[in-house]
Structures are given as structure tokens and as C-alpha cells.
A and B are shown apart, each in its own frame.
Chain A
Amino acid sequence: MRRRNVLPGLPLSLGVTLFYVGLIVVLPLAALAFKAASLGFEDYWRIVSSSRSVASYRVTVLSALGATTFNLFFGLALAWVITRYRFPGRRIIDAVVDLPFALPTAVAGIALTALFANSGWFGSVLEGFGIKVAYTPIGIMIAMCFTSLPFIVRTVQPVLEDLDPALEEAAQSLGGSDWTIFRKVILPLLAPALLAGVSLSFARCLGEFGAIIFIAGNQPMSTEITALLIFIRLEEYDYQAAAAIASVLLLAAFFMLAVTNWLQARALRYTVKG
């Protein structure tokens, strides 16, 4: 039943698209993969499984998990408050949620460091409780929280907006308490979008660099993230090690991209039909 397409411009537009994607996206990533592959398995494995590399994966992944978990609750609360309640300042909150995307990461990095350093507004208070944030893994986590917060809010918000009130009303008329209805009716409907937001946020945390390097202590084995280790290897002109470790981050990114696409397709399967 496919109609004949009368529109012009396919060769030009597709040509421009493929040329640009090929030159700007595919070629460099292929060159990186090629460089990493040319190392040979033994050298490759030695670099990516060295204790310093593994320590960097650990601090990166654990901090990303912590930050994403925090953002899961905070992001859901933000999306809920913005879409379901009407109160003065709602529009402003809705607007400033995007600030972490708009603010350059280096700017965010020095700002967070100033806030959480021992003499800073938050750091000096937390110091009283014996909590050190700047130059510790907690600092890395906070920088990740900041830069990835909008992902969860912005993926959950539209689903929450389109939620059919009749579903809740039906559950209410059956005598369900708010908490039960949230758990059994609303949360399952939100879950795909929530998970898609989580995977986007987690992927962003794994690759984040600018915001983190200022607030992290950057000590090998404890507060050195993987992205920084790549940078350090480059500065040492150890291009092979940089390529190998970068390929690990690249693989992680592709994995998260696949997960996100799968989750988003699932999330939208429900909303589009509803």
C-alpha cells in the first residue's frame, strides 16, 4: 500500500547526512576502535585491566550509581511537583531544571567546588558533621548529580502529563489508598520512562569530565575517574593506553545507548497508543 513518493531532494539530503555523519561521527570512532584493536589482545588486556584502570572504573561506576539513584528520587519528585501541582514559582522551577544542560560543565565544576570546599557555604557546614565532599568520591557524585539531573525529569514529565486520570479514579473508586494507587497503577505506567531516564543519566555520568575534575581530588586509585585517566595518558604521550581505556568508555556508551533505545521504544509504545 505504499504510495509513490513525489518529493524531491532525497539524494541531496541523504548524501549530506551520510557524508557528515561519516566524517564527523563514524570516522573518528572507527579510528579509535582501529587504534585500540591494533594493540593486540595481550597489551590491550594489560592496559584495561591494570589496577589503576580498574580503580578508575570502580569510582566512576559507583559514583554514577549513587548520583543516578539520587536523581531517580529527586527527578521523579521534581517531575511530579511540576506536572501535578499548581503553585507560585512552578514555572520558574520548570525552567531552571534545564540549567545543568545550559551551564558549561567547567563552570559547574568550579561553582560546585567553591560551594563544597572546606571554606565554602555548604562545605563549612558539612565539615561540622565530619563530612568532606570536595576532593572525595562524594564530590564526584555531586558533580554527576548536577550534570545529569534534567534527564530523568524530562523523560518522566511528558508521561506524567499524559497519564489518564480515569485510571486513578477507577483505582480510587475501588478504595485504593494513595500509596497503593501510586505503587500499583502510576509507577508501572511511569516505569519505562523512568528507566529510560535512568539509563540516559547513568550514561552521562560515566562520560562526564568537566564538572568532575575540579571537585574530585584526582588521586590515582581513589578519586580518579576513567575519563581523567584517559586524559592523563594523553598528556604522558601514551597514546596506546589512551586508546585502550577510551575504547572501554566507548563500549560502555554503546551499551547504554542500546539499553536506552530499547527502553525508550518500550516507554513510547504505551504512551503513543494511549
Chain B
Amino acid sequence: MSIFSTRRKPPRVGDALLFRRSLIGIVFVLVAFVIIAPLVIIGVEAFSKGWQLYRDTVIHPDTLHAVMLTVLAALIAVPVNTVFGIAAAWAITKFDFWGKRFLLVVIEIPFSVSPIVAGVAYLFVYGLQGLFGPWLDAHDIKILFAVPGIIIASMFVTAPFVARELIPLMQAQGRDLEEASTSLGASGWRTFFSVTLPNVKWALLYGVILCNARVMGEFGAVSVVSGNIRGQTNTLPLHIELLYHDYNATGAFAAASILALIAVFTIIAKVALERQGAGRVRKQTNPAEKTS
């Protein structure tokens, strides 16, 4: 059969027409059921009682306040994690020091720890039961069950995002360019802004976008430390839960549709950045292996 095939390449394993078509078919069906259907139902449910109710939910002061708080958390947590990511990537990829592999593992810890565990851990640092709790209380500083707690918990959950995108790429690019730049007399900052940054800008943006999506959507860690005070410490994901448990499913889906929209934009931005080459190097190099 392969002799009469018009394909230029010889058939590879799994290229038999029937197998190929059925596998593609199965994948399409499963993707439709598992991934697309949940996205579609959000829109359907959000508008199930008409545009008016959707609008009322979205412009309700509690929803708007939740949106503001979510945006505020992102505006603080994302830049802080970006600075951290750049610093970590610079230290890890441009220098050799003892304990580097261990540091890489520690940076990745937030990815494997349950957000609930993260929330509880913060309780034992800043809560009344915790290390700094009594001191903070005596000085009348509120971190837990207040906005700072929400922001710090979000920082924990998303700490590795930018670092994880930058480290493999900067590892692969090596140190030659930076060494040339400094030996020609450029300062460290000049080297970073004129040599390193242009080479990693897409990967940086990629990490920032993924970090942002996670900050805005974080639920578990934030729900432990927020105290869930309506109109005060409610982020958008917490507001969804509140509406849902108030038997206002339509309202919950209306609020959810805002986050779903952000998710869709995140995916589109991700694809666009991947066309620029971001997110590719991670797959080919292991930073831990290449430390000399």
C-alpha cells in the first residue's frame, strides 16, 4: 500500500489510515467532552437567565470589589515574582555555587504543595497561633484575613512561574555574550538590559502571563487566609464560591465567565508567544544537568 501512497515520507508507526482516523476521532471527542464542554457550559449558564441578570451580577458592587481585589493581588504578586524570577535565573545560570541543584528544587516546591497546605502554613507564620502572630497583633498589623495575606499567599503559589521559564533558556544561551559585554566595559545592569533581556523577553512575558493567570485564579490558598469577608477580602474566585453557595448559580457562572475569558486570553497569548519561540527551550534542557 505504501508504494501507491502520495505521501513523501514513508509511513511511520501508527500511520495506518484506520488507526490514525480512529485515534484522531477519539481525541477530538474526548477533548470536546473533557475540555471544551466545561468552557461552553460557563457561558451557557451565565446567560441562562438573560443578559439583564448577567449584567446585574457583573456590575454588582461586591463583584466589582472582588475584581478590584483580584487585580490588586496580581498587580503586586506578578511584578514581585518577576523580579524574583529574574534574580533567581541570573544567579543560577550565570554563576556556579554550592547547593545550586538544591536551590532549583526548593524554587519548584510551590508547584507540588497543595494550595490548602500553603494556606495553613501561612497561618502558622502570621496567624495568632503562629511565629509572628502575637507580635503583629501587639502592633496592630493585620496580615491574615486581610488583603496582605491574600497577596502573600498568591505569591507563594506562583513563585516559580517566571523563574521556571527563564532558567532553562538562559542556561541554553550560556554566558559568552554577557562576558563579552562586561569585558568591553559595560556595567552589570547595562549588560542585563542590553544583552540578556532582549534575548529572553518572550520567555519572560510567557512566564509573566502564566503567573498572572494563576494569581487571578488562585482559590485554595487564598480561601484559607482571606477570611472570606464579602465586599472586603473576597477575590473573584472566592466570590464565585460565595454566590454558588448562596444558591445563585447563575450569578456564580456570570462571575466565572470573567475568569474564563481571562483564561482564554491567556491561552491565545501563550500560543502567540510560542510562535516567537518562548516555552520551547524548557523541553530540551535540564538546568540541573548542565551545571558544570
- Identify which of residues 1-50 in chain A touch chain B, using a CB-to-CB cut-off of 8 Å: 2, 5-10, 12-14, 16-18, 20-21, 24-29, 31-32, 34-35
Q: Which B-chain residue is minimally distant from A168 (CB atoms)?
A: B13
B52-60, B125-133, B134-142, B197-205: which lies at the A interface?
B125-133
Contact B95 A7, beta carbon cutoff 8 Å: yes
Q: Is B219 an interface residue (CB 8 A)?
A: yes
Q: Is A234 an interface residue (CB 8 A)?
A: yes
Contact B30 A32, beta carbon cutoff 8 Å: no
- Identify which of residues 90-126 in chain A touch chain B, using a CB-to-CB cut-off of 8 Å: 91, 93, 95-108, 110-112, 114-115, 120-122
Contact A264 B286, beta carbon cutoff 8 Å: yes
With contacts A20-B159, A249-B117 taken as known, whether A93 is within 8 angstroms of B31 at the C-beta atoms is yes
Q: Is B50 an interface residue (CB 8 A)?
A: no
With contacts A21-B107, A97-B35 taken as known, whether A102 is within 8 angstroms of B263 at the C-beta atoms is yes
Contact B105 A107, beta carbon cutoff 8 Å: no
Contact A115 B259, beta carbon cutoff 8 Å: no
A115 to B34, CA, bound (A): 10
Which residues on the B side are within 8 Å of A108 (C-beta)? 38
Q: Mark B61-97, 1 if CB is under 8 A from A, else 0.
A: 0000000000000000000000110111011101111
Q: Which A-chain residue is minimally distant from B42 (CB atoms)?
A: A111
With contacts A102-B266, A149-B34, A272-B289 taken as known, whether A31 is within 8 angstroms of B159 at the C-beta atoms is no
Q: Is B112 an interface residue (CB 8 A)?
A: yes
Contact B24 A87, beta carbon cutoff 8 Å: yes
A249 to B112, CA, bound (A): 10
A209 to B106, CA, bound (A): 22
A207 to B125, CA, bound (A): 21
Interface footprint category on A: 35 or more
In the complex, what's the smallest C-beta–C-beta distance from B273 to chain A, in angstroms?
12
- Identify which of residues 112-148 in chain A touch chain B, using a CB-to-CB cut-off of 8 Å: 112, 114-115, 120-122, 145-146
Which residues on the A side are within 8 Å of B38 (C-beta)? 103, 108, 111-112, 115, 146
Which residues on the A side are within 8 Å of B165 (C-beta)? none
Contact B283 A85, beta carbon cutoff 8 Å: no
With contacts A6-B183, A28-B121, A230-B117 taken as known, whether A35 is within 8 angstroms of B129 at the C-beta atoms is yes
Contact B45 A114, beta carbon cutoff 8 Å: yes
Which residues on the A side are within 8 Å of B115 (C-beta)? 207, 209-210
Contact A85 B20, beta carbon cutoff 8 Å: yes
Contact A31 B121, beta carbon cutoff 8 Å: yes
- Identify which of residues 159-176 in chain A touch chain B, using a CB-to-CB cut-off of 8 Å: 161-162, 165, 168-169, 172
Contact A203 B112, beta carbon cutoff 8 Å: yes
In the complex, what's the smallest C-beta–C-beta distance from A64 to chain B, in angstroms?
12
- Identify which of residues 184-204 in chain B touch chain A, using a CB-to-CB cut-off of 8 Å: 187-188, 191-192
Contact B114 A253, beta carbon cutoff 8 Å: yes
Contact B108 A257, beta carbon cutoff 8 Å: yes
Extra contacts, 19 of them, besides A35-B124, A207-B113, A230-B116 (Cβ < 8 A), are A5-B94, A28-B125, A31-B130, A77-B27, A78-B30, A84-B14, A102-B264, A104-B218, A104-B263, A106-B237, A110-B240, A110-B256, A114-B45, A161-B283, A168-B12, A207-B115, A209-B115, A249-B117, A250-B121
Q: Please name 14 pairs of A and B residues whose Cβ atoms are closer than 8 Å in the assembled complex, sorted by A.
A: A8-B182, A18-B103, A77-B30, A81-B23, A85-B20, A85-B23, A101-B213, A102-B262, A104-B263, A114-B253, A122-B37, A146-B38, A182-B13, A239-B129
